[in-house]
Every structure is written in C-alpha cells, then in structure tokens.
Structure 1
Amino acid sequence: MPMPMPMPSEMNGKVDINGYSNPNETAGKVILCRAAVAWGPAQPLVMEEICVDPPQELEVRIKILFTSICHTDLSAWKGENEMNRAYPRILGHEAAGVVESVGEGVMDMEAGDHVVPIFNGECGDCVYCKCEKTNLCEKFRVNPLKRGMTKDGKCRFSTKDGKPIFHFLNTSTFSEYTVLDSACLVKIDSKAPLKKMTLLSCGVSTGLGAAWNTADVQAGSTVAIFGLGAVGLAVAEGARARGASKIIGIDINPDKFIKGERMGMTDFLNPKDLEKPVHEKIREMTKGGVDYSFECAGNLDVLREAFLSTHDGWGLTVVLGIHPTPRMLPLHPMELFDGRRIMGSVFGDFKGKTQLPHFAKQCMRGVVNLDEFITHELPFGKINEALQLLVDGKSLRCLLHL
C-alpha cells in the first residue's frame, strides 16, 4: 500500500497540490492510487490500490482533493435497489479537484484547472441540452445503472490484477484519481474555495436549485420542507435567500431543528409530537396551506403529507427524495383538480456546465452560506467512519480530504 498523499491546502481559494502527480509525467499513462472500493452491499469500503487508465476521447482524468458522502451514496452502498448492485464499484459523486490530463477533443479544460464533477451531465449539443425547459442530457443524464464509460462501455478503473471496477453516477469520486466524460465536469473559478465547492456537486445545488429554479420561490411566500438532511436544508437556504416569510421544517430528528434555524427556518414540526396529521397542522399555521412544499425524505407517506400541506388552487410540491421501492404515487388523479401541482427536480434544474460556474461565484459572494453544511471533516482513509456518521444522522456532510 502506498504512503498516503499529503492533504491539499488552500490559500485564498487556490490549491497547493505539491506532492501530487505532475501531469507532464503521468499524462497518457496508467496511474496507481488509492480508492475506497465497495465489494458488496453494506460491506465496509476497502482501501485498495487501483489502476486508473488515461482519459479517452472527450474524457478527463482528475485528481480528487475533497469528496463527501450523500444519501444517494449511502443507499447505493446498502444495495437498497437490486438493479443498482454492481461490484466491485467505486461510489461517490460529490467532490472537487484539479484536472490531471484531458483526452482527445476536450477543448474547455486543461491540466491544472479547478473542477467540480456533476452526476447529471451536459453535452451542450443534444436536443435536450438546447432546450431551456430541461436540464437533462440525452447521453449524460443521471443514470444509476450505468457501470462504464459512454463511449465504449468499458471501465477506466481496474484492480492491479486487471479486474474491472465499475463506475457510479458518471463520477466515482471515492478515489484519489477518477476519469469522467467531459460533459460531467465543470470548470470553476480558480479563486473559489474547492473545499466548499464540493457541496455544489449534488446536495446544495439540488436543494437550493429546487427552490430557485424548479419552484421559483417568491418573496413573502410560505414553504414547508419535509426531511432536513443536506438537501432539505439547502432548500431552506434557497427559500431564505429568496425572502420567504415562513419556512417550516418537518423531521423526526429534533437535532435537525437547531441547524435548520441557522439556515433560515422559522418553524419546526416533529410528526411524533403531533396529535393530528402534519398537513392539518400546517394548514392551521398558514391559513390554508403553504405555497410550496418540498419532499426530501424519499418516503411516499411523507410525500402525501407534503402534497396535502400545500394551498389548494396554486400549491406546488417538489419531489427531491429518492424512492427505491416499487410503490406508486399515493395520489388520486382527481386530487389534482384542486389546483395543487406536483413535480420532480433533478440537480435542482441547474444546467451544470452552463449555470454552475455562476452559482459558484454567487456562493463566493456570500449569497449562499455553505459553511453550515460541512459538519465534520476526516482524512480519506476514515471513509467508513464518515459513512457511519451519516447512517446515525449525526452529519450533514462529512468532508473527506484526499
């Protein structure tokens, strides 16, 4: 096992990567590095020395400097969806790093650029990318079943004896080096603090974007957020920034309420403490229901409460939680005739490569408070401890230093 690489340091946003591979020496070659490999459902991740191939056409190889763990990583690690089980596999999709080398045809990035991977890519050329009504991409949209690279279906990871290691969500960031399609990588301002930019890969962009882009929360409006993980709290931060007058947080973990208040929430409800359904309590508090509700728990019963908590005539429910079960929506079609609407949101409806660089600059200006989302920091080698923190509900984002 190689000696651990030195941790990156940041001065005024710029990253000191002394001690990392020199692109002039490694470009076009296989790199040996550490990765946290999943060998089976719910098994501890194993630190392995793996081989990372050079990037092929329109691909980029990056050095991961920071990565964090999302509930989507957690559910994949647990193997909650049988169709998503593929082993060995490198999970992870929230990260920030530096470009090591680029493949043929990559024109918008070069070695040394600061970048953020995105699980929902943007090629810029397909009919979807050219449509202002969606942030999906024909080739690079989020696909949990995808196991290799788009161009040839092969893996760019392998064990030292040549066994392929599968990819995850277009990114696979639980590795010191990873290879991505260039459509799934965003170049950001070199002055942006990469440590915080990790959050833009998924959680913060998904939640805040749902408030800004999907729902377009208006000043003075009322909001209910069901599930106060990182995504739910990002919704609160987005609603606060838009000037919502009442932001109600709903969660069965009372510890989440303290954090929620710092993120702009005005009221809190614990369903376990109520003698009536949550939606009835919310309707009482808001004289008929909230303007917007956000379901961030991945629970269909919670989704129904979120839907019924909105005001008839104009209420909008945005679905953000991941629902792994085969159960269908708990709604009768006629309930939609009361004017309430329901819709899903992927990556907060951000077009990653087009819009994320501007969002990163907004974060640099303090429009969004990212510090509150990072609750723990650990070295990469303690990734299983970070997983357990999320399982126990003790962390929002545990930042891992590679």
Structure 2
Amino acid sequence: MGSLSNIDQSNNETRGKVITCKAAVVWAPKEPLVIEEVNVDPPQKMEVRIKILYTSICHTDLGAWKGENESQRAFPRILGHEAAGIVESVGEGVLDIKEGDHVIPIFNGECGDCGYCKSEKTNLCAKFRVNPMKSVMVVDGKTRFSTRDGQPIYHFLNTSTFSEFTVLDSACVVKIDPKASLKKMSLLSCGISTGVGAAWNTANVQSGSTVAIFGLGALGLAVASGARARGASRIIGIDINKDKFIKGQTMGMTHFINPKDLKRPVHEEIRELTDGGVDYSFECAGNLDVLREAFLSTHDGWGMTIILGIHPTPRMMPLHPMEFFDGRRITGTVFGDFKGKTQLPQFAEECMGGVVNLDEFITHELPFSKINEAFQLLIEGKSLRCVLEL
C-alpha cells in the first residue's frame, strides 16, 4: 500500500503525465479478471485522478461481470465502485478537492449546480447520476484507460476502482476526514450507505417501528444496522440461507424467517407476527416474487416498501393498481437518498463514532492480485465484503 508521503513525493513526477499501473481488466462477460499493466491518462477539466488503496466487490460488479443486460456490455472494462484512496492530481477547475486529500469515489455524483442538486427532494444529478450506460468521461466522450498498445478500456459506474489509479469526474469524489480508516471508509461508496440511507432517509424509520428485510446480503444487513440505530423494535430478516441469521443478530435482527421452512406465504407469517404487518419492508434481493411478498408484508393504511435490489429482467412489477388503495406505498432508493458530496462526510463521521459498525461487514481481506478469489467468495455467498488492498 502506498503511504500519503510516498504519494506526495511522486506527485511532481506524475502530475500531468500518463501513469502506468496495474488494473483488473474484464475482457468479456464471465471471463476471469486479468491483472495487467494499463495506462491511466491525466485528469482533464473538472476531473480527479486518485490512487486507490482499498476496494471491495459489490453484487452490482458481479452483475456487470456476468453481462446481465445490454447496458453493462462495454468491454474491455475496469469494474469496481466501492473504494477509498488519496488524490494524486486534479484537473482544471477543480476547487473543492486537492492533491493529498483522502477521498471516497461515488457512483451517484453531485455537481451542486443543477436543478436536481439544488432540490431537497432528490439526490440525483442531471449530469452525474448513476448511469450503467456510461462508459466514457463527460468532458470529451473518451476513456482515461488504455492498454499498453493503446486500445481503449471502458469505465464503469463513474468510478472504475479495480485499478491502482483511476480518473473520475470531480462530482463523483467525496473528501473525508484524513483520520478515518480508509479500509473501513471504502465500504461507504455503495452498499452500506445505500442500506443505512434507505432506513434513515428513504423510510425515515422511527423508534419503535417494525421492519422486515428481504435478502440478507451486505445491503440487507446494512438496512438492519440502520434500523437498529434508529431504535426499531422488531427487525425481521428473511432469507433462504439459515446462516444469515447468525450474522444478522449481531447487526440488530430480532427475528429470522426462512421461506423454505414455511407452509404459507411469508407475508402471512409476518402479518401474524406483527399484528397486521410491519411499518417498513425492504426488498434487497432483486426478485419480483420477493418484492410482492415484501409489499404485502406491510401494514395496510401506512406500510411502506423500499426497493433496493437490482432487477435485471424485463419482467414488470407484480402489483395491481387497486392494491395501493389500502394505503400501502412503494418506492425505490438510489444510494440511500444520500447526497454524496454534501451529506456523505457527515455519515462517515457517524460511522467513525460507532453509530454503524463497519467492521461487522468486512468478512474477508485479500491482496488485489487475488480479486478473482474475492469474486468467487461473493458468488458462493461466503462474504459480505471482501476488502482488497492495492
């Protein structure tokens, strides 16, 4: 791992120049990632080049690696979007970030100037919101990565963190407290922020509320942590993997339901357990049948279902419009409704203070060279977050 002093010393040598470094390149869907030398161009106007020190793997990376839909089939590509690092250099016009800053890349950017960013009703951005179709930089429509012989390598989710150096739009770079552990802070780029934010910002879980979480990967367990921090009275976890209950208990889950053990629909079990249904349900599985169960598990009159899972199939929602006349609501959330640049630093401070225990989510640590092993751990359901050190 490079130290801050080493990076400071190298800035004069690399600023404004092409950097050659190691990156994990995906050449085609489902093929093993290849660690190889790539060229990383200097940042252009309103861009930032970062030295990545830690990165981890999310199910969204896994879906892109599989090529699950047309929008994710730009290859060769450098995946990765959960990371932390140190700024190596900045492009023209970047004023809020400087060389040496400790930063987190975010896939859902915030320019601060558009109508979306100025609105309190959304955390989307007109130009830098999450966009799986985007594979090049905004300023010139080109990539900043290339092979040693000049072949372009495409970007991913505004970030591309499976590389020792990466270039991002400054709108997708969040400055954090230099005293924070970069290893832990890397988790805030996606899953943990999305899950906790869904509980805090989207649902606004109140003390004494009842919650049901469908799908207990890192995303669902982050929801549990957020609900626990808000004082939820019952946090019900639903998963077909019984081992999830053990981990879930450490993060605040009070009840566990394995659908395989039931002879009736899950929502009927939850309604009986909670006297009519939970106040909030969270769908973290990316499964439409599960989404229907999550919706029906909420209490009529006021229940709310929040969709967090990614749904790659063309199937439509299995709900009839008249079902909303019972007072139940349903909504989705992007990045837990956090505005990345303005609100994430405060969330990072809360995590430093122990409001959310990030250590609970790091189940494995490996060197970057073993990234394919880390992917396999996620595929097999053995890891929540495997942090890779570059």
Structure 1 residues 307-343: Cα deviation after superposition (integer angstroms, max 9, x where no partner): 0000000000000000000000100000000000000
Counterpart position of 1:96: 84
1:236 counterpart = 2:224: yes
Contact 2:8 2:100 in 1 (8 A): no
Counterpart position of 1:11: none
Match of 2:30, as an amino acid?
A: A
Counterpart position of 1:205: 193
- CA root-mean-square deviation: 0.9
> For the residues of structure 1 that align with 2:12 and 2:361, how far apart are their CA atoms?
36
1:268 counterpart = 2:253: no
Match of 2:352, as an amino acid?
A: M
Structure 1 residues 15-44: Cα deviation after superposition (integer angstroms, max 9, x where no partner): 555378711110000000000000000100
SS at match of 2:117: coil
Q: How has the CA–CA distance of structure 1 residues 360 and 79 changed in structure 2, closer, same or farther, with 3 Å as cutoff? A: same
Correspondence for 2:111 among 123, 130, 153: 123
SS at match of 2:192: helix
Counterpart position of 2:138: 150
- Unaligned runs of 5+ residues in structure 1 are 1-6, 9-14
1:52 counterpart = 2:40: yes
Q: How has the CA–CA distance of structure 1 residues 393 and 21 changed in structure 2, closer, same or farther, with 3 Å as cutoff? A: farther
> For the residues of structure 1 that align with 2:243 and 2:116, how far apart are their CA atoms?
41
Report the identity percentage.
79
How high is the TM-score relative to the length of structure 2? 0.99
Offset, 1:351: 0.1
- Return structure 1 stretches of 4+ with deviation > 6 angstroms: none
- Unaligned runs of 5+ residues in structure 2 are none
SS at match of 1:128: helix
Counterpart position of 1:38: 26
Counterpart position of 1:257: 245
SS at match of 2:35: strand
Offset, 1:152: 1.1
Correspondence for 2:273 among 276, 279, 285: 285
Contact 2:225 2:252 in 1 (8 A): yes
Counterpart position of 1:358: 346
Counterpart position of 2:60: 72
Offset, 1:63: 0.0
**Equivalent residues, number:** 390
1:345 counterpart = 2:365: no
Structure 1 residues 354-387: Cα deviation after superposition (integer angstroms, max 9, x where no partner): 0001111111111111100000000000000000
Aligned pairs (5 A) from 1:363-382 = 363-382=351-370
Correspondence for 1:141 among 120, 129, 152: 129
SS at match of 2:87: strand
Counterpart position of 2:159: 171
Counterpart position of 2:291: 303
Counterpart position of 1:316: 304
SS at match of 1:129: helix
SS at match of 1:18: helix
Structure 1 residues 43-91: Cα deviation after superposition (integer angstroms, max 9, x where no partner): 0000110000000000000000000000000000011112320110000
How high is the TM-score relative to the length of structure 1? 0.96
SS at match of 1:280: helix
SS at match of 1:330: coil
SS at match of 1:158: strand
Offset, 1:133: 0.2
